[in-house]
Chain A
């Protein structure tokens, strides 16, 4: 790159940054006026769509919006809501006790399908571009690592599976659970000298899990007339067998993410054997 080109580029970038900075500070320190909304000095957490996700009264809110119109936006919390008791309330519109899961997988489940795809395409790109680099001779792992990794592996696997199976009850879910499983395989790859990870099997598992996710959505489309609609009874909140398809989707996501990250780690270490 020529020096003049570089200077022009820097100048443009600097101008943009200064422009944005001026606007940002103006917005920060300007008092709200004429009743216009400012995020900084007047944060009202009840004035968000997520209020209904927490109270699990989205269907009521839809009805309220249809009858009251513009008045709804001025006062979201006037939508009627029921008290929900952990372990007792049955057949809610959305049955997972973990609020984050209910938003991520159910209310905005389509975004999660997108995020799963983002991870999928990133791993594809990573293995396609960097995979197959020649393996460097690593130092032989010590006895403690060798024994310890063999000993710990089943427990790590179990922990990962626990995280994604309980995704609708406790913090965590498909993505962290899958990452934990992949870390178990990473430990084996680093700790054991002659451990061979079968990428073909993991790719098959990953593909099938991904298709199952879309398939669950399609079953919703054919049974309940809407993509990713819940078609399984939600059960009692707080129980393991509850939350309908949310639990199912998180299991699928966990398996997919685990297989995907393990494939990525293994291919980075050993190179892409299939090609």
Chain B
């Protein structure tokens, strides 16, 4: 299999996006179908590449026939392609849902932006070059701001503006980090930086790590760069929120995993520590715990279903950051698994929430009282998604949280136990507010509904619910892929020799 053809995963969405204005002249429905078909192609191709890579080990794709570290390359490991598959899957489902919505004035441009956002997220998880990652993060953040603003209400403009401010500050910090890296090591290739990062003065290394933090924490919704989350999620349309939490934050967390662990990290014993003067692993654990607590407690106080789901999404990102901070392989496997579960379950929850909001005409959970009696099917699907996020046994979130707890216990220092207790306590809060919504839905109360729901919307949520249930009942379905993915982060030497060639360590 020729790996250079993996570039089609990035080139096809870009080319189709450039053509979208022409399709838009024919009809708005066509642009939506084209977006969906592009994602379907990418999803199928990414799965075939994923199978190949899992069987044969990581590969690189060279761009412009310039070998790395001189040119840009893609690094196609199990992790990258697994996350790319998730991203394209969520994009496919959301764009399928999008077809069913009544056409609005700007929908042709919206499907174009959706295509670019998902395509850029796919590029972020596959690229092997720091500056290339920055370029695609730029596309991602501009596109996300446009998606948030597209609802054309005052609230959505406010959310988009907030996101724009955070996103541009983050991008500026990321650019500085890249500048310092290039200034010291003279390279932008992730593998070469990984090979030589310990040559940098530890103080400067910590400085670079901190600056990099600013750039990717915005997308990953981690404290203190997540102040945009509540307003933006409330302002945007619910199906856009599915992209925000399923696609954008997945790409952000990947950047943290890959760059902090493989590139900035050094192997010590069975875990990876981030190089530098600061103990950044401890900071990451603290950030994870703070994000989780803030997210869960804020979700508890909210009445707006979109805000509840937004804060919950933030909290899950905190759990994953905690897993990355723990830094051993079991915890990382759990982190990657939880990323998958979160993307699928949250997309499901947001799409169901979108349908409920459309049906009830309000996003306040008090107005949804009795909805479960009126439409049992949707309420049950919502409950499935909620159980998946909470981690009720035999739903997908259970297994990933198990992995994370297992990894944290393995680390067995007093501080990790302390942090873990907070994470578990926050999970209890999560149980409470999700059950409150479900309880309200099944309350006995007459309810009047307004709009009819398109069958496409039903198909898309059923597909997601099937994935949630399947993974919950057969968690070993992905264990092969997950182990290979987390091992890929750990085996830094393998990463470097795959990209730069075996001779580099001589």
Task: Say yes or no: is A115 at the interface (Cβ < 8 Å to chain B).
Answer: yes
Contact flag A109-B63 (CB < 8 Å), given A36-B201, A49-B69, A221-B5: yes
Total interface residues on B, using CB and 8 Å? 77
Known: A110-B63, A207-B21. A24 touches B207 (CB 8 A): yes
Spot the interface stretch: B109-117, B363-371, B418-426: B109-117
Q: How far is the CB of A205 from chain B (nearest CB, A)?
A: 10
**Is A230 in contact with B139, judged by CB distance below 8 angstroms?**
no
With A20-B207, A58-B71, A121-B143 as known contacts, state yes or no: A227 contacts B11, CB within 8 Å.
yes
Chain A stretch 115-132: residues in CB contact (< 8 A) with chain B: 115, 117-118, 120-122, 124-125, 128-129
Query: In the assembled complex, how far is the CB of residue B11 from the closest CB belonging to chain A, in whole angstroms?
Result: 5
Q: Are B204's CB and A27's CB within 8 A?
A: yes
**Residue on B nearest A224 in the bound complex, by CB:** B65
Query: In the docked arrangement, what's the CA distance between A111 and B178, Å?
Result: 14
* Contact yes or no, B116 A121, CB < 8 A: yes
Smallest distance from the beta carbon of B442 to chain A beta carbons, Å?
A: 35
Q: How near does chain B come to A79, taking the closest CB pair, in angstroms?
A: 11
Render A69-86 as a binary contact track against B, CB cut-off 8 A, 1 for contact.
111010010000000000
Known contacts A65-B501, A121-B142: A108-B113 contact under CB 8 Å? no
Chain B, residue nearest A62 (CB)? B67
Is there contact, CB below 8 Å, between B207 and A23? yes
Contact bitstring A1-43, B, C-beta under 8 A = 1, else 0: 0000000010011001001100110110010110111110001
Determine whether A266 belongs to the interface, using a CB cutoff of 8 Å to chain B: no
Tell me how far the C-beta of A74 lies from the nearest C-beta in chain B, rounded to whole angstroms: 10
Min CB distance B477 to A, Å, is 33
* Inter-subunit contact B206/A275 (CB<8 Å): no
A73 and B196 within 8 A (CB): yes
| CA of A207 to CA of B67, assembled, Å | 31
Does residue A211 face the partner (Cβ distance < 8 Å to B)?
Answer: yes
Q: Which of A27, A53, A120 has most chain B Cβ within 10 Å?
A: A27
A214 B63 Cβ-Cβ under 8 A: no
B71 cross-chain contacts in A, Cβ below 8 A: 58, 107-108
A118-B119 Cα distance, complex, nearest whole Å = 13
Complex-state Cα separation, A83 to B105, whole angstroms = 59
Query: What residues on A are CB-neighbors of B113 within 8 Å?
Result: 121, 124-125
0 or 1 for each of B58-89: is its CB under 8 Å from A? (1 = yes): 00011111110111100000000000000000
Tally inter-chain residue pairs, CB-CB below 8 A.
205
The binding surface of chain A is classed by DSSP as helix
Q: Which residues in B have their C-beta under 8 angstroms from that of A47?
A: 186
The residue from B64, B188, B199, B204 contacting A109, defined by CB atoms under 8 A apart: B64
In the complex, identify which listed stretch (B145-153, B350-358, B443-451) lies at the interface while the others stay far away.
Answer: B145-153
**A229 at the B interface (CB under 8 A):** yes
B-side contacts of A23, CB under 8 Å: 203, 206-207, 210
Residue of B nearest to A122 (CB): B142
* Residue B304 lies at the interface, judged by CB distance under 8 Å to chain A: no
Of B4, B67, B131, the residue contacting A221 (CB under 8 A) is B4
Known contacts A27-B207, A221-B5; can you find 5 more A-B pairs with CB under 8 A?
Answer: A70-B505, A73-B195, A107-B64, A117-B139, A211-B15
> Which residues of B approach A to under 8 Å, CB–CB?
2, 4-5, 7-8, 11, 14-15, 17-22, 24-25, 61-67, 69-72, 105-106, 109, 112-113, 116, 120, 123, 131-132, 135-136, 138-139, 142-143, 145-146, 149-150, 180, 182-189, 192, 195-196, 199-204, 206-207, 210-211, 224, 227, 500-501, 503-506
The 5 closest A-B pairs by CB, nearest first: A210-B18, A69-B506, A48-B186, A114-B135, A39-B183
Provide a sorted-by-A list of 13 A–B residue pairs whose CB atoms are within 8 angstroms. Answer: A16-B224, A27-B203, A33-B201, A37-B200, A43-B183, A48-B186, A114-B139, A118-B138, A120-B17, A121-B143, A206-B18, A213-B18, A214-B18
